[in-house]
Amino acid sequence: MSESPPRGLIVDWGGVLTGDTRSVVRAWAEQDGIDLDAYASVMRDWFGHSTEIDARANPIYALERGEIELPHYEDRLAAELTTRTGNVYVAEGLLQRMFEFFEHAPDMTGLVRRARGLGIRTALLSNSWGNDYPREGWDEMFDVIVISGEVGMRKPEPRIYDHTLDLLGLPAAECVFVDDLSDNVKAAVGVGMIGVRHVEYETTLAELETLFGRSLS
């Protein structure tokens, strides 16, 4: 960390500017009759691969980098769930129905707005799953917006953090990165940023107020 307070705040979308992603997955699974254990097994297998593995072996990374379209990913996911459970799942709209359960987190959105209003440069850095983001008001919230599928990179690849820093025009040591996933936070710290793992608003607010040395309430 630099001696002076940070000048940049970079935040994730899902799980930071929205509610808890685990709750989203549970609600989606209940609606679609998806076996949560089977889904978790698929995610463990796919996320367990090297970050550089190709799309044939790891559709998650390919989707996040924009290398495949959402319908292709939904086909792969439905096929995997069918193989592991014996139940037939409809691929069309499978993830789109999940996105419907994401809820806006007004407390964290307000925090980012207040930070920018105080002169802190702000950025969104999000791994996309082919979803349509609710972008209304983003121009007032962010100086920089980086969506993985639009830039062909994904967290936790160091290059996407470097890309975001270049767009912000700030060195890593002067930026705080907030994400709900520890691997993404560790990667940000690895490139020189200050990392904050988001669990709940009050804790994140307190950490950021300490780091920036000012009230963000």
CA-to-CA distance for 37 and 73, rounded, in angstroms? 19
Q: What's the confidence (pLDDT) of residue 131?
A: 87
Q: How far out from the chain centre does Cα 54 lie? A: 21
* For range 1-15, the mean pLDDT: 88
Residue pair 8/168 in contact (Cβ under 8 Å)? The answer is yes
Q: What integer pLDDT is reported at residue 103 of this predicted model?
A: 95
For the whole model, what pTM was predicted?
0.93
Assess whether pLDDT exceeds 70 at residue 197.
yes
pLDDT at 50 over 80: no
Cβ-based neighbour number of residue 1 at 10 Å: 12
Q: How confident is the model at residue 49 (pLDDT cuts 50, 70, 90)?
A: low
Instruction: State mean pLDDT over 177-202.
Output: 98
Average of pLDDT values for 124-131?
94
pLDDT at residue 3 greater than cutoff 80 = no
pLDDT band at 1 (very low <50, low <70, confident <90, very high): very low
Confidence label for 2 from pLDDT (cuts 50, 70 and 90): very low
Among candidate residues 83, 89, 114, 130, the one with its CA nearest the CA of residue 205: 114
Give yes or no for a contact between 195 and 177, defined as CB atoms under 8 angstroms apart: yes
